[in-house]
Amino acid sequence: MQISEMIASAIRMSLPVLLAALGAIYSERSGVTNIGLEGMMITGAFWGATTAYFAGPYLGLLVAVLSGALMALVHAVASVTFRVDQIVSGVALNTLAYGATRFAATTIFKMATTTPGVPRLPGIDLPVLSAVPLLQPMVTTLSPVIILAFLLVPFTRYVLERTVFGLRLRAAGENPLAADTLGVDVLALRYAGVAISGAFAGLAGGYLAIEHTGMFVEGMTAGSGYIGLAAMIFGNWQPVGAMLASLLFGFAEGLSLNVVAEDVPYQFIKMIPYVLTIAVLAGAVRRATPPASVGVPYERSGE
């Protein structure tokens, strides 16, 4: 029982990280670093929860996705069109998201840091597997977003490896000049990559607020956007690798919740995901192969 409970909790915990990591793959593969994922997740969480409060969870999740994507478009305008430092733009968006959320929460709910409780989607029992008692914690009353997120892993792999869009997206991130010479619209692809990453981050936020917690709480993203970037790097910019890395993070976090050791102060337990992120990055980066032109603004000569 314990083991399957823990795996179930690891899967729930890993979800925001997984969605952020998958989104980051689209953005980075197109050549744009998106450190603003955290802010997009916060935005998605707040507007998702707010919409769910007034209009139900389906519309809530939709608005979460859209608000994340909208925020990502700001990042695209700044970093793709105006070619500003992508890190600076992302950091600015994180600040903006934090302030805007508090502002909106105070204006709408008269509370700066939370929304009221919101309804969630009906849970799903996976057929056949639900009959196995051992697996029950993992496969019953599952959030549909969890199923969607894990389906997005092979989907992302398929899009990147097997579609024209994916090929062009990767070309924009590896060698934008060559891609441009062949008639690929590098800027449009980078806009698409960034927008998709924002949509995924928004969904992650919506999941956290609507499905996982049942309300928006300030600070609920707890760095998942950044950890998602680390998971993407650890997974070597590949969807399956990113999923495994996300599960590792989810497991560590689930573990820290379950192992409430009397001797270890809870402040140290709270540090586990962050320490793990640093350790993972320290070990991962040497063998990592990022897209060749990620972080470099593309400028058509003669413009």
Partner 1 sequence: MKPSLRTSLLGIAAPLVAVLFASIVGSVVIAAAGKDPLEVYQTMFSFSLTRFDSVMLILFRATPLLFSAVAVSVGFRANLFNIGVEGQYFIGSFFAAWVGFMLRGLPAVIHLPLVIAAAMLGGLVWALVPAFLKVRRGVHEVITTIMMNSIALSLVHWLIYVYLDPGQAIPGFGSPRMRTPHVLDSARMPTMHGLLNPLLKPLGVEIPQHVYLNYFLVLGLCVVFCVDYMVRKTPFGIEVRAVGHNPDAAETAGIDPGAVRFKTFLLSGALAGLVGLSDLLAYFGYLDIDFPKGYGFTGIAVALLGKGSPAGMVLSALLFSFLRRGAEGVQVFLGVPMDTAVILEGVIILAIVVASSIYGRYVLTVQKREAQSHADQ
Q: How far is the CB of 40 from partner 1 (least distance, A)?
A: 13
Contacts of 290 (CB under 8 A, 6+ apart): 28, 233, 237
- Binding segment toward partner 1, per CB under 8 A, in 13-21, 50-58, 157-165, 278-286: 278-286
Is 265 one of the binding residues for partner 1 (CB under 8 A)? yes
Take residue 115 and report the two structure tokens written for it: 């929304």
Is 292 one of the binding residues for partner 1 (CB under 8 A)? no
Alpha helix positions (H), the chain: 2-29, 37-55, 57-76, 86-109, 136-139, 144-162, 164-174, 176-181, 186-206, 224-234, 239-258, 266-284
Q: How far is the CB of 38 from partner 1 (least distance, A)?
A: 8
Is 217 one of the binding residues for partner 1 (CB under 8 A)? no
Q: Closest Cα to residue 224, out of 43, 14, 12? A: 14
Q: How far is the CB of 79 from partner 1 (least distance, A)?
A: 9
Q: Which of 103, 155, 158, 165 lies at the binding interface for partner 1 (CB under 8 A)?
A: 103
Is 214 one of the binding residues for partner 1 (CB under 8 A)? no
Distance between CA atoms of residues 70 and 92, nearest Å: 15
Is 259 one of the binding residues for partner 1 (CB under 8 A)? no
| Greatest extent of the chain over all pairs of C-alpha atoms, in Å | 66
Residue 217 phi, psi (nearest 5): -130, 135
Is 230 one of the binding residues for partner 1 (CB under 8 A)? yes
- Specify the 3-state DSSP secondary structure of 217: strand
Q: Which of 70, 76, 229, 243 lies at the binding interface for partner 1 (CB under 8 A)?
A: 229
Q: How far is the CB of 89 from partner 1 (least distance, A)?
A: 6
Query: What is residue 294's DSSP assignment?
Result: T
Residues that bind partner 1 (CB under 8 A): 35, 74, 78, 82-85, 87-89, 91-100, 102-103, 106-107, 112, 222-223, 226, 229-230, 265, 267-268, 270-271, 274-275, 277-278, 281-282, 285-286
